[in-house]
Amino acid sequence: MKKFAALITAALLAASLPVLAKDEKKPAADAKAAPAAMAQVDLNSATKEELMKLDGIGEARADAIIKGRPYKGKDELVAKKVLPKAVYDKIKDKIIAKQK
């Protein structure tokens, strides 16, 4: 009886290995998707909707960013008093100011 129980336990474990292996691969797939999600928003060309997806940017701030274009550098948001430093600090790694 003990051998039979051990055999069933071993069979169940062996059957679950492919499932466990699949779960281990999921984070790798998510890691590949992360860089695309972290694409930087260009202050000089982003739409109002794209700007509003940034943390701390609502309709009024998105309008102010668009009105202040073009930007030579993203730090001009603070220099031109378009955004407070605290909001800029939240989004500075998510934005860029591309030049034509």
Q: What is the pLDDT of residues 48-81, one digit of tens each?
A: 999 999 999 999 999 999 999 999 999 999 999 9
**pLDDT in the model for residue 30:** 47
Fold classification of 41-96 is DNA polymerase; domain 1 (1.10.150)
Candidates 37, 39, 36, 94; CA nearest to 65 is: 94
In the chain, where are the structural domains located?
1-38, 41-96
Candidates 68, 35, 65; CA nearest to 50 is: 65
Helices and strands, number each (H, E), in the chain: 5, 2
List, for residues 8-41, the tens digit of each pLDDT value: 766 666 666 565 555 455 554 444 444 555 689 9
